[in-house]
Structure 1
């Protein structure tokens, strides 16, 4: 399970309290979604150039990069051509590789 990325420590505490209220059925789903938007860091977006730049910065082929990201070379190629965009966990993994390189997988 991936760790939720909060904007600040304080928002983590606020979100935790709101989650407890939601579990106790004291706030509804709509309100909980509003807390999610306020507290949780949005998933990053990467365009085709940024993805290619990240891959090239770690000096690997599309096939090797795909293996690290647990996807297919075809998907990486589509990302780099702008035909598809990574979302969710793939975008978070790209964010980690951008920040820490492939050492993050060691």
Structure 2
């Protein structure tokens, strides 16, 4: 069984093919881009701290769930660094669905 992201990837690939041959207009292609390609989430230090607090975890424990070091979480919350890649995606999931979504 395919996951939703696989289905969206296939739909987006088909839309790109249709757009390339002129069977789909630019506006519809932009809509497909918006639907199929999620925007990269961005996080302020306050938002990261709020997500962690909502999860009721210390920085070291929260860091383990994100597979990063405790100092990294501290730097995010102090605004010295920003989460990227898989860390940003995990934070987004935790923010929307709670820590239970990744446990």
Question: TM-score scaled to structure 2, two decimals?
Answer: 0.70
Change (3 A) 1:82 1:38: same
Structure 1: how far apart are the matches of 2:44 and 2:5? Answer: 23
Select 2:96's aligned residue among 96, 99, 103.
99
The structural deviation recorded for 1:82 is 0.2
SS of the aligned residue for 2:38 comes to: coil
Q: Which one has more relative contact order, counting CA pairs under 8 Å at least 6 apart?
A: 1
Which sections of structure 2, spanning at least 5 residues, go unmatched? 22-28
Change (3 A) 1:5 1:71: farther
1:60 paired to 2:38: no
**RMSD value over aligned CA atoms?**
3.0
Q: Is the 8 A contact 1:5 1:41 kept in 2?
A: no
Match runs of 1:3-22 below 5 Å: 4=5, 13=11, 15-18=12-15, 21=17
The aligned length equals 87
- Which consecutive aligned stretches of 4+ in structure 1 deviate over 6 angstroms post-superposition? none
Select 1:38's aligned residue among 23, 29, 33.
33
Question: TM-score scaled to structure 1, two decimals?
Answer: 0.68
